[in-house]
């Protein structure tokens, strides 16, 4: 393994160790729940970036998260299925809907695609809010079970109902999903996506079915958004008007900002953005009204000063250091 590879592995291990140790060190329910939502956000932005690898950007990721959340909640509540079954089903439904929508949507590009996804997410959110018989409308869904007892091969029966236990479950699911997303990006499929982003006409000319690969990227990203939604639903334990607000345009805005502030060019960028900005948001809690404003100012300053995002900082420092020393 070369040096860069070693650094990558070390950084990953360090981040995971830190994530495992954090709730034990802080031992507060509040911070554990903050970390849980940060981990879910990390999955959402990382999968959002998958759509960016085909050169499109989505403003509707949160809609697929909403689909996943309601699917998992309703299946545990009405069909009595265990969480271990409903979570993949949540992802699957979100992925299938994205697959069906992908064909008409991918006929347009750029801003148009972004607008369509935005409309999709708003429609899904309003549907969840207005379909009273299924989702409870304004009263919401209350009292669906948490993750409960899951049997894990090699470990036996484990109870994930507690806050800390659920955090670890979320962390494990998200780490596995991130690993899959990362491997996909480095696979042949990922390189095909890149080829489409760089030159879609060229890719089409050498025999790549551009439309199909685009739809696949969109579906995979939405699958993981659905998983994120499922994790979110059983973390909140209730999907009411408060939750439908968190499936709204504001969350889309935050996801987009996390992605670009972190740095869209590399896999780790958006995850870093999600972690750093969520922590900034949390530490700004004393001035609650101005939390969004602080994030907005950071977003604007980032695109003005370092458009590459946080991951571009080392590069910048490397370029500036010799000039400063001379």
CA dihedral 117, 307, 178, 146 (to 10 degrees): -60
Q: Name the 3-class secondary structure at 156.
A: strand
Judge whether 94 and 218 are in contact, CB under 8 Å: no
Determine, following the binding rule CB under 8 A, whether residue 112 of this chain makes contact with another protein.
yes
Told to check if 271 binds another protein by CB under 8 A, we report no
C-alpha distance from residue 108 to each of 111, 197, 249 (Å)? 9, 14, 21
Binding of residue 57 to another protein (CB under 8 A): yes
Q: Does 208 bind another protein (CB under 8 A)?
A: no
Distance of CA 196 to the CA centre of its chain: 23
Query: Is residue 193 at the binding interface for another protein, with CB under 8 A as the rule?
Result: no
Region of residue 102 (phi > 0: left; psi between -120 and 50: alpha; otherwise: beta): alpha
Instruction: Find the shortest distance in angstroms from Cβ 323 to another protein.
Output: 23
Name which of 104 and 153 has its Cβ closer to another protein: 104
Q: Does 186 bind another protein (CB under 8 A)?
A: no
What span, in angstroms and rounded, lies between the C-alpha atoms of 16 and 38?
A: 13
For residue 21, state whether it binds another protein (rule: CB under 8 A).
Answer: no
Give the nearest distance from C-beta 78 to another protein in angstroms.
17
Q: How far apart are CA 140 and CA 123, in angstroms?
A: 17
Piece of 28-36, 166-174, 176-184, 294-302 that binds another protein (CB under 8 A): 294-302
Smallest gap from residue 259 Cβ to another protein (A): 9
Contacts of 313 (CB under 8 A, 6+ apart): 306
Complex with another protein: residue 57 or 166, whichever CB lies closer: 57
Q: To the nearest whole angstrom, how small is the minimum distance from the Cβ of residue 136 to another protein?
A: 13
Is residue 107 within the footprint of another protein (CB under 8 A)? yes
| Closer residue to another protein, CB minimum distance, 87 or 116 | 116
Handedness of CA 244, 249, 252, 253 (dihedral sign): negative
The residues, any chain, with a CB within 8 Å of residue 184's CB and separated by 6 or more, are 50, 190, 220
- Segment contacting another protein (CB under 8 A): 33-41, 104-112, 142-150, 152-160? 104-112
* DSSP-derived secondary structure for 180-242: HHHHHHHSHHHHHHHHHHH-HHHHHHTT--HHHHHHHHHHHHHHHHHHHHHHHHHHHSEESHH
Answer whether 135's CB lies under 8 Å from 231's CB: no
> Is residue 214 involved in binding another protein (CB under 8 A)?
no
Binding mask 230-269 for another protein (x = CB under 8 A): ------------------xxx--x--xx--xx--x-----
Return the closest-CA partner of residue 71 out of 241, 246, 239, 219. 239
Does residue number 14 form part of the binding site for another protein (CB under 8 A)? no
Q: By rule CB under 8 A, what string of x and - marks binding of each residue 120-159 to another protein? A: x-xx--xx-xxxx---------------------------
Nearer to another protein, 19 or 116 (CB): 116
List of residues contacting another protein (CB under 8 A): 57, 101, 104-105, 107-108, 110-112, 114-116, 118-120, 122-123, 126-127, 129-132, 248-250, 253, 256-257, 260-261, 264, 289-293, 295-300, 302-304, 307
């Amino acid at each position: 393994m070369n040096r860069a590879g070693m650094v990558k592995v070390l950084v990953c291990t360090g981040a995971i160790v830190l994530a495992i140790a954090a709730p034990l060190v802080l031992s507060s329910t509040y911070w554990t729940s903050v970390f849980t939502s940060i981990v879910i956000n990390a999955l959402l932005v990382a999968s959002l970036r998958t759509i960016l690898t085909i050169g499109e950007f989505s403003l509707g990721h949160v809609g697929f998260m909403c689909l996943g959340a309601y699917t998992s909640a309703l299946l545990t509540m009405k069909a009595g299925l265990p969480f271990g079954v409903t979570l993949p089903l949540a992802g699957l439904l979100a992925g299938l809907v994205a697959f069906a929508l992908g064909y008409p949507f991918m006929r347009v590009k750029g801003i148009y695609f972004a607008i369509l996804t935005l409309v999709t997410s708003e429609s899904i959110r309003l549907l969840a809010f207005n379909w009273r018989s299924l989702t409870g409308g304004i009263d919401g869904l209350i009292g669906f079970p948490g993750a409960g007892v899951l049997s894990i091969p090699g470990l036996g029966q484990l109870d994930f109902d507690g806050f800390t236990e659920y955090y670890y479950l979320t962390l494990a699911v998200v780490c596995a999903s991130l690993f899959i997303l990362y491997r996909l990006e480095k696979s042949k499929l990922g390189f095909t996506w890149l080829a489409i982003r760089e030159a879609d006409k060229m890719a089409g000319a050498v025999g790549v079915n551009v439309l199909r690969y685009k739809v696949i990227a969109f579906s995979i990203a939405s699958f993981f958004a659905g998983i994120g939604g499922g994790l979110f639903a059983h973390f909140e334990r209730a999907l009411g008007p408060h939750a439908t607000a968190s499936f709204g345009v504001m969350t889309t805005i935050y996801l987009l900002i996390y992605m670009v502030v972190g740095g869209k060019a590399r896999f780790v960028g958006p995850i870093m953005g999600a972690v750093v900005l969520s922590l900034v948001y949390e530490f700004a809690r004393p001035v609650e009204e101005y939390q969004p404003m602080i994030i907005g100012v950071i977003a604007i300053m980032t695109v003005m000063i370092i458009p590459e995002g946080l991951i571009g900082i080392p590069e910048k420092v490397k370029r500036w250091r010799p000039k400063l020393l001379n």
